[in-house]
Structure 1
């Protein structure tokens, strides 16, 4: 089994947690961050047995998940004493969100026969969130488990047909689409739960940021946004707030890139349902071609920021929205999301 990882990881802050996340024991306690790291390490290794993502696994799209966990851990979003005590507060809204993106993928991998089953530990205390208890998956989380099972099945099929080549290509993009579809099946539950939530332990601005992040997933899915090691290290390590947002003024005091992301995400959280549906429909139209999706960072910037220096890109973005849709060439595989017609029509009611 290929268990390599990129050498550059040793130079990153994540490496300390990577090393601490030892082999996952027979009982997976998702309220210990070292166990979540161990689960991600096991999933990364299990999905690269044929080295389809390279001998050091750098092209695996699951890297984004462990980087997200690390960001939440180091910024105190999993509980004030999480890092020192190897705990994750069951009442942490971010911890619950990551639970759906760690435990549910693990259970999906079990259903797909990718990893050996583990006993999932119950939360150590009562919580306002519903978790797996006594091995029973709450009804609202089962769609997430099934979504990840489908992802791992898709991955196995792509490996079998050699659709994943030595460089990023059609197979990689299909797999990213499948991953974002599974990702959304989890965060839809988090979004629905947070929409009914009161700030509680979280300040209102931070809760809004979480809600907006759940909405952002739709935009990233439409673009088959890359989450492999290289892309995340190059473009994703300085774009999120390094402290909990205690109020609106906090968002304006962040470094430039993090401030821009934070403003965009908070804007999505505050947008009305109709505006969100229209914006997403327009974005999906713009992302209909592989060429547009390959330039996602530039086009995202143009979509969210109106500046003199990106006027030409905004004009291009408008053309991508209104241009006639091209039919795929024969023989080119179509992702499940594309086959379902997702993004092809106007916003729903």
Structure 2
């Protein structure tokens, strides 16, 4: 028996709720989420107004946190623990930008984004400037719609140290300079408050607002490309184009799905010598995503809007979007995270894909290459080392609820690629 289309997102929501049991959701939050303000009273007050500096990472992240907290009640009907809140995509994307170094001064002429000022967001960063329109403007639109529990007149946003005229800082100013963006976000927040809101329609209004937010910034900040390598500048443009394709299929920007999707994004700024799919310190998935984004960008530049318009036509029905989402997620699931453990003295290394992260343990004895796994569904974020009766050390992932395939020696086709690499 065929299910009505309206059940599609109900089933997907149930799947996400079930999957959430396999995660400690707090492990998926963006960096410094706990340290960021979660209510207006966490910000400083000056002349009776809350003062927010969008050029400090935790202040900008705090705006997202307030949005997530204040809108949680409207998404509760779609799943527990606010995991189905569609606004998660914004702070997670901002967190990736921060973690990958894309919010720092791209020319390193200042300490902004580096020690001793690691939380500074550089106005020279193309990524930071683009993100401003996906953080400050949605926040001001939410204030204007009344869902944040305070008046827009009670909030002051600080300007950047230069290029102040390229930005807006309050509801009236943003309405005047970017009326379409403010209007689309207000429509989203107003519909969200409707007792008859549906997940599918929320996705439509969210992506309408998201894509509208990105119409003006590429032209305003085109000069920022000169601060980056050609590879990074092209990646930024390709990513902006790819967002339009994600919007057409209404990718659900919930917590778990966005977290998983972002594993395919490059973990650092691209340099002039990076050639995907042969970037050694990127995972196979990250290399392939870069190749795919380049293809999307190149085709879009050659055909204009023709390819995108065809894609929009293909994605017009909810059934087509649902089928594409399942295919999309299956592709990402086909790239397991390979974990390789090795110990020597008091040091050992944990390798996730091609990224090495050093750890220390005082209980280790010098041993040779041990044992390795292909792990799906989650990263091993808090592993422990233990040993069996024969004294052989094992890497035991503490996170539970995910599938695990054990591989020993050189067996395991998916992990053979890592077998010859030295980690320590």
| CA deviation vs aligned residue, 1:146-176 (integer Å, no higher than 9, x gap) | 211111011112xx12x4xxxxxxx212111
**TM-score under structure 2 length normalisation:** 0.61
Equivalent residue for 2:122? 89
Equivalent residue for 1:245? 270
**Selected match of 1:11 from 24, 27, 34:** 27
Q: Is the 8 A contact 1:131 1:138 kept in 2?
A: no
User: In structure 2, do the counterparts of structure 1 residues 19 and 300 end up closer, same or farther at CA, with 3 Å as the change threshold?
Assistant: closer
> Which has the greater radius of gyration?
2
Equivalent residue for 1:43? 67
Do residues 59 (structure 1) and 84 (structure 2) align? yes
Equivalent residue for 1:231? 257
Offset of residue 73 of structure 1? 0.3
User: In structure 2, do the counterparts of structure 1 residues 48 and 12 end up closer, same or farther at CA, with 3 Å as the change threshold?
Assistant: closer
Offset of residue 120 of structure 1? 3.8
| CA deviation vs aligned residue, 1:56-81 (integer Å, no higher than 9, x gap) | 10100011111101100011100054
Aligned CA-pair RMSD: 2.8
Equivalent residue for 2:213? 186
**Selected match of 2:159 from 111, 115, 123:** 123
Of structures 1 and 2, the one scoring higher in RCO (CA 8 A, sep 6+) is 1
Q: How do residues 171-182 of structure 1 correspond to structure 2 at under 5 angstroms?
A: 171-182=198-209
Q: How do residues 98-177 of structure 1 correspond to structure 2 at under 5 angstroms?
A: 98-115=131-148, 116=150, 117=152, 118-127=154-163, 130-133=166-169, 136-137=173-174, 139-157=176-194, 160-161=195-196, 163=197, 171-177=198-204
User: In structure 2, do the counterparts of structure 1 residues 97 and 150 end up closer, same or farther at CA, with 3 Å as the change threshold?
Assistant: same
Distance 2:79 2:325 in 1: 24
| CA deviation vs aligned residue, 1:125-160 (integer Å, no higher than 9, x gap) | 113871125773385433212211111011112xx1
Equivalent residue for 2:407? none
Structure 1 unaligned regions, length at least 5: 164-170, 304-349
Offset of residue 106 of structure 1? 0.4
Do residues 293 (structure 1) and 308 (structure 2) align? no
Query: Secondary structure of 1:27's match?
Result: strand
Query: Secondary structure of 2:129's match?
Result: helix
Q: Is the 8 A contact 2:126 2:225 kept in 1?
A: no
Offset of residue 273 of structure 1? 4.5
Q: Is the 8 A contact 1:223 1:296 kept in 2?
A: yes
Higher strand share goes to which structure? 2
Query: Secondary structure of 1:52's match?
Result: helix
| CA deviation vs aligned residue, 1:267-294 (integer Å, no higher than 9, x gap) | 3333454614221122122212222211
Count of aligned pairs between the two proteins: 286
Equivalent residue for 1:311? none
**TM-score under structure 1 length normalisation:** 0.74
User: In structure 2, do the counterparts of structure 1 residues 248 and 172 end up closer, same or farther at CA, with 3 Å as the change threshold?
Assistant: farther
Q: Is the 8 A contact 2:52 2:155 kept in 1?
A: yes
Equivalent residue for 2:397? none
Distance 1:174 1:30 in 2: 30
Distance 1:129 1:55 in 2: 42
Higher helix share goes to which structure? 1
Offset of residue 299 of structure 1? 5.2
Q: Is the 8 A contact 1:90 1:123 kept in 2?
A: no
Distance 1:149 1:42 in 2: 16
